[in-house]
């Protein structure tokens, strides 16, 4: 199944989501931000991806955290897994929370 992906203007220069390896369970999303976003301990931020998808009726997409970020930095997703419903047509955004004890920086891409 192919799902149409629309890039918003602030993500035109970023690659589309892709599997990192042949055995990857999911595709990596990138941060479509200017500069950096700082996430202080116990803080949460919304990170735009610059992507809009049109899922077929009866399907959903899920956004899941990366285990390495959680283990090494205490950074994870607040509502994991995040659900993208088949009728949602807005920009995909990711809610990130820093459960660690040091600030974490999110850079473009």
Where along the chain do its domains lie? 5-107
The pLDDT of 6-35, averaged and rounded, is 95
* pLDDT at res. 49: 98
Please report, for residues 15, 48, 52, 87, 92, the alpha-carbon distance to residue 19 in angstroms, rounded to integers and kept in the order given.
12, 19, 18, 24, 18
The pLDDT of 74-88, averaged and rounded, is 95
* pLDDT at res. 2: 86
CATH class assigned to 5-107: mainly beta
Q: Does the global pTM surpass 0.75?
A: yes
Q: Is the peptide bond before 44 cis (omega within 30 degrees of 0)?
A: no
């Amino acid at each position: 199944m192919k799902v149409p992906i629309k890039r918003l203007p602030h993500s035109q220069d970023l690659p589309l989501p892709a599997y990192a390896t042949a055995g990857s369970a999911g595709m990596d999303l990138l941060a479509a931000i200017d500069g950096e976003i700082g996430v202080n301990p116990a803080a949460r931020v919304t990170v735009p991806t610059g992507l809009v998808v049109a899922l077929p009726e009866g399907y959903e997409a899920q956004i899941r955290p990366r285990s390495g970020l959680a283990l090494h930095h205490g950074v994870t997703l607040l509502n994991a897994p995040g659900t993208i419903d088949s009728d949602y047509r807005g920009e995909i955004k990711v809610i990130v929370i820093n459960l660690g004890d040091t600030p974490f920086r999110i850079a473009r891409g």
